[in-house]
Chain A
């Protein structure tokens, strides 16, 4: 399975933008890039996903490198509620679609 590499932790200040990086140098042509986040003792929550083009939704933006070997999750204005573990995940499998989670990045947001 293709793997991702993320920093163990990052810190941000409230109301500032946050850029969470992810490397996935062994990504295959059919792998989607997903981002989920998880609060302590809760299930993960979907944030965003993409294949080749940059994506925007109400929660965040996803910037995907042209060679698809890296991507960046962008939170435009961090709030205290954005403090969580953020997972960058490659999804694959066609009809047997499944996700392979890594350890993620612990984001701390300072007031």
Chain B
């Protein structure tokens, strides 16, 4: 089955540690996105990538970094510079020419 996988579903880290969230898709989509969601709020765009080896900052990129070395993978690193990293993180992908984004199941990150 084609789709987007994010692992793990729950992640705990100590304050001051960097952590990398995984996002993999086998839909052969060119574009991929990372969003953050806080309780009771909508999604906010962190980074997005339209093509391999290229990515752009979204609305809240500070304290985050990404890479896009392969078409199917778009890992997100939450650095120690992110002041409030505890949140629900969602990855999405989109086929070029389509307006529909497909979302993964999300990773809930808790920084202790």
Choose from B31, B42, B101, B105 the contact partner of A46 (Cβ within 8 Å). Answer: B101
Question: Could you tell me the distance between the alpha carbons of A46 and B94 in the complex, rounded to whole angstroms?
Answer: 11
Residues in chain B near residue A49, CB distance under 8 A: 99-100
Closest approach, in angstroms, between the C-beta of B79 and any C-beta of chain A? 22
Stretch from B13-21, B44-52, B63-71 contacting the other chain: B44-52
**A43 engages B106 (CB within 8 Å):** yes
Question: Could you tell me the distance between the alpha carbons of A103 and B43 in the complex, rounded to whole angstroms?
Answer: 8
The interface size of chain B toward A, counting residues with CB under 8 Å, comes to: 28
Choose from B50, B101, B104, B105 the contact partner of A99 (Cβ within 8 Å). Answer: B101
**A32 engages B43 (CB within 8 Å):** no
**A95 engages B50 (CB within 8 Å):** yes
Identify which of B42, B59, B92, B99 gathers the most chain A CB atoms within 10 Å of its CB: B42
- Asked, given contacts A34-B99, A49-B99, A98-B33, whether A41 binds B50 with beta carbons under 8 Å apart, the answer is no
**A97 engages B99 (CB within 8 Å):** yes
Residues in chain B near residue A91, CB distance under 8 A: 99
Question: Could you tell me the distance between the alpha carbons of A102 and B50 in the complex, rounded to whole angstroms?
Answer: 23
Residue of A nearest to B97 (CB): A97
Question: Could you tell me the distance between the alpha carbons of A44 and B41 in the complex, rounded to whole angstroms?
Answer: 13
**B88 engages A41 (CB within 8 Å):** yes
Closest approach, in angstroms, between the C-beta of A46 and any C-beta of chain B? 5
Residues in chain B near residue A43, CB distance under 8 A: 4, 90, 92, 103-106
Question: Could you tell me the distance between the alpha carbons of A103 and B42 in the complex, rounded to whole angstroms?
Answer: 4
**A42 engages B41 (CB within 8 Å):** no
Q: Which residues of B in the span 71-112 have a Cβ within 8 Å of any Cβ on A?
A: 88, 90, 92, 94, 99-106, 108
Residue of B nearest to A32 (CB): B99
Closest approach, in angstroms, between the C-beta of B58 and any C-beta of chain A? 7
Residues in chain A near residue B103, CB distance under 8 A: 43-45
Interface residues of B (CB under 8 A from A): 4, 31, 33, 35, 40-45, 48, 50, 56, 58-59, 88, 90, 92, 94, 99-106, 108
Interface residues of A (CB under 8 A from B): 32, 34, 36, 41-46, 49, 87, 91, 95-104
Give the top 5 A-B pairs by smallest Cβ distance, nearest first.
A43-B103, A101-B42, A101-B43, A46-B100, A103-B42
